[in-house]
Amino acid sequence: MKYKIVADSSCDLTEEMKKEMNVEIVPLTLQLGEKEYIDDENLNVREYVSDMNQCKTPPKSACPSPGEFFKKYLGDESVFTVTLSSKLSGTYNSAVIAKNKFVEEIGNKFVHVFDSMSASVGETLVCIKIAELAQKDLGEMEIVEKVTNYINGMKTLFLLESLDHLAKAGRLNHIVAKIASVLSIKPIMGSNGEGNIKLFEKVRGYNRAFNRMVDLVGETGEKLEDKILGIAHCNCPDRAEKFKEEVEKKYNFKDIVIVNMSGLSSTYADDGGLVIAF
């Protein structure tokens, strides 16, 4: 089956992954004050994060228009689209509107839109699962069924060095963020299974929180030997490698992949942030 994957720029992938899995990215737009950034391969994430930390106003993001998705649906391949959680962004709705318009105007073409109910490396793993199944020559609807089940069983956790930008963006109460900073509390957060963010645990000190997140992999996951662990980091490759090493000491994942965060993921994770999914 000829296929392609369309994903928004919250999906953190290497250039090699994009080529191997035939993934095309639809970028979100990021805004710091009056300045706009396109979250594509030309964005220097390190410079963007530096600009963000110097900006006095909260960072903002805008989802792609339906027209941008529509253009990616063109071609003779079957299209599987992956978006960040519909509870966190309007990107999923844009992709669905584009699909409906495409089917109405173009007709005979398979397009399916997956709500990842996650973000960052959670989307990465969904893309990997689609590619794995498509390369086995499964039918389109069988892929949809298996990937939907995979999404429903996926776990996403994250640990941030700073909560400032989550608070600025309205994802976390400002007072809670301030208290956490003063007391050096590092919340371990993640998906609630329905696409929203929930607090898993509050741990004092980064090292303790880091080690606790390693433990939570085993406590929240099952059949890890059949799964891939994805690790995304914001400008902290050493931390990502360290997390991989600690996980390998305790668990036997089928594979572990490490990716750099895009601009959107970095907007919320900030320097030092880690997101994992499995």
Mean pLDDT score, 255-275: 95
The CA-based dihedral angle spanning residues 151, 92, 25, 197, taken in that order and rounded to the nearest 10 degrees: -60
In this prediction, residue 168 has a pLDDT band, given cuts at 50, 70 and 90, of low
pLDDT digit string, tens, across residues 100-158: 999 999 888 999 999 999 999 999 999 999 999 999 989 999 999 999 999 999 999 99
pLDDT recorded at residue 167: 58
Q: How many CB atoms lie within 10 A of CB 259?
A: 20
Q: pTM score, two decimals?
A: 0.93
pLDDT recorded at residue 78: 97
> Within 13 Å, how many C-alpha atoms sit on residue 210's CB side?
17
Task: List 23's β-bridge partners, or say none.
Answer: 5
As a whole number of angstroms, the distance between CA 168 and CA 182 comes to 17
- Is pLDDT above 80 for 5? yes
Q: Which amino acid is at 71?
A: K
pLDDT digit string, tens, across residues 247-261: 999 999 999 999 999
3-class DSSP state for residue 188? strand
Mean pLDDT score, 151-180: 70
In this prediction, residue 202 has a pLDDT band, given cuts at 50, 70 and 90, of confident
Measure Cα distances from 170 to 156, 167, 265 in Å.
Answer: 20, 5, 15
Q: Chain-wide mean pLDDT for the chain?
A: 92
pLDDT recorded at residue 182: 47
pLDDT digit string, tens, across residues 26-43: 999 999 999 999 999 999
Contact 39, 27 (CB under 8 A): yes
pLDDT recorded at residue 207: 94
Of 109 and 171, the structure prediction assigns the larger pLDDT to 109
Which residues 6+ apart lie within 8 Å of 161 measured at CB?
A: 186, 206, 270, 271, 272, 273
As a whole number of angstroms, the distance between CA 82 and CA 10 comes to 10
Task: List 191's β-bridge partners, or say none.
Answer: 197
pLDDT recorded at residue 151: 98
**60-74, 84-98, 178-192, 251-265, range with the lowest pLDDT:** 178-192
- Is pLDDT above 90 for 175? no
Mean pLDDT score, 90-107: 95
pLDDT recorded at residue 199: 80
pLDDT recorded at residue 122: 98
Contact 268, 232 (CB under 8 A): no
Measure Cα distances from 202 to 17, 118, 210, 237 in Å.
Answer: 34, 21, 11, 24
Mean pLDDT score, 42-62: 94
As a whole number of angstroms, the distance between CA 67 and CA 183 comes to 46
As a whole number of angstroms, the distance between CA 18 and CA 272 comes to 25
List, edge to edge, every strand of the sheet that includes 29-32: 35-38, 29-32, 60-62
In this prediction, residue 58 has a pLDDT band, given cuts at 50, 70 and 90, of confident
- Is pLDDT above 80 for 173? no
Q: Which amino acid is at 16?
A: E
- Is pLDDT above 80 for 169? no
